[in-house]
Structure 1
């Protein structure tokens, strides 16, 4: 091999090494987050991908990191956190014991309300304790958590529920009289009514009950690994530097 050929190979190897280092640095500076279409909080078609995405993006920026969202059906997003892969976090999550046991969850950086919708052909359903809802089958979304009390009652079989892939399908079931009740965030309820023409046509068959199930902090959850713990801690530090207004 001539000296010129050897020098050319060395230059190519050096260039390749520098390119790999650059790609590695770029990947290290990006956090891939699994999420879902959940307007008006977050969505691929919303301005800035929605207020939650904007807020978490700003927090990551304070950490010197870039946020990259991948919008998935929620069950697939949850599986992405259970399986080996590039996703380092999932959001938005409710701040429940169930999620805290499975993942490293941040401090809340937003807040949401959980309520019930009912079919208007039924007399208004009035309840004080969640156990008062025992006679009714309640629509839930597959993979969603709610409040600790509500989920414990579901797990114990003290409340009946029927799972669906989405809030939209649950609303359609309630409107069609196939379910008496479904759990939903009021803001999500109003957004879906506005966005979906077929649901809007059936809106008169749905009533949002005034008494909420509860209120939940919205968090981002990281893989339960040493890297996930470090990201969670750094996220919380950046969050405390500019804490959100959760009123």
Structure 2
């Protein structure tokens, strides 16, 4: 909603196509018809440039209601199996521990897959933005029946800013300028709050 508002206030039309995360990144980087991809967390890169923030999302863990997990540091999670998304940037510390093999993970291409696995207790925790969690449990017909089985762990990893990633070329710079100017003309926080408050929260 934020990106749509920012683009439209500048007199343009937004067309969005939904793909698994790694394919979205690949298409944006290789197909000229795509101006960028979102939502993305910031990371150091020479290949892409980032818009101004399009909002923020609390990154944390979904868990099964019958087996909640108490943890104070990521070291406490070495004995549990995490569900992650292929190609996602999480937090530096978590990604380093995953890369070093300190935490056992299973990777999938969609958040909904992790939530289904979590409902069946095939994993102990699933890394997910809490807004995405609420959205999926309210809008995905295959997940609605899992509402009583799944919840967000009360401790979050980070409240992360969200961005659009554009290819670092003239076309990407052009659309970054358009979006950034549009973002300056709208109330991002109000749009985010209105949108997510309209989504039924999982019970």
TM-score, normalisation: structure 1: 0.67
Tell me whether 203-212 or 177-186 shows the greater mean CA deviation.
Answer: 203-212
Structure-2 change in CA distance of 1:88 and 1:198 (3 Å): closer
1:108 matched to 2:50? The reply is: no
> Which is greater in Rg?
1
Which residue matches 1:238?
182
Measured on the aligned residues, the alpha-carbon RMSD in Å equals 2.4
Q: Which residue of 1 aligns with 2:109?
A: 165
Shift of 1:196: 4.0
Question: Whole-Å Cα distance in 1 between the matches of residues 142 and 3 of structure 2?
Answer: 33
Alignment TM-score, normalising by the size of structure 2: 0.80
- 1:73 equivalent in alignment to 2:20: yes
Give the ranges of 4+ consecutive aligned residues of structure 1 lying more than 6 Å apart after TM superposition: none
Gaps of 5+ in 1: 1-50
Tell me how many residue pairs correspond in the alignment: 191
Cα distance in 1 for residues equivalent to 2:160 and 2:171:
26
In the TM superposition, residue 173 of structure 1 has moved relative to its aligned partner by 0.8
The match for 2:154 is 210
Task: State the distance in 2 between where 1:70 and 1:192 align.
Answer: 17
- More relative contact order, 1 or 2 (CA 8 Å, 6+ apart): 2
1:88 to 2:49 alignment:
no
* Rounded Cα–Cα distance in structure 2 between residues aligned with 1:158 and 1:208: 23
SS in structure 2 of the partner of residue 67 of structure 1: coil
| Matches for 1:9-158 after TM superposition, within 5 Å | 51=1, 55-94=2-41, 96-98=42-44, 100-122=45-67, 124-158=68-102
Higher alpha-carbon deviation: 202-211 or 166-175: 202-211
Preserved contact between residue 75 and residue 143 of structure 1 (Cα < 8 Å) = yes
Q: For residues 16-52 of structure 1, give each alpha carbon's deviation from its aligned partner in whole angstroms, at most 9, with x where no partner exists.
A: xxxxxxxxxxxxxxxxxxxxxxxxxxxxxxxxxxx2x
Runs (5+) with no aligned partner, structure 2: 194-203
Equivalent in 99, 119, 125 of residue 181 of structure 1? 125
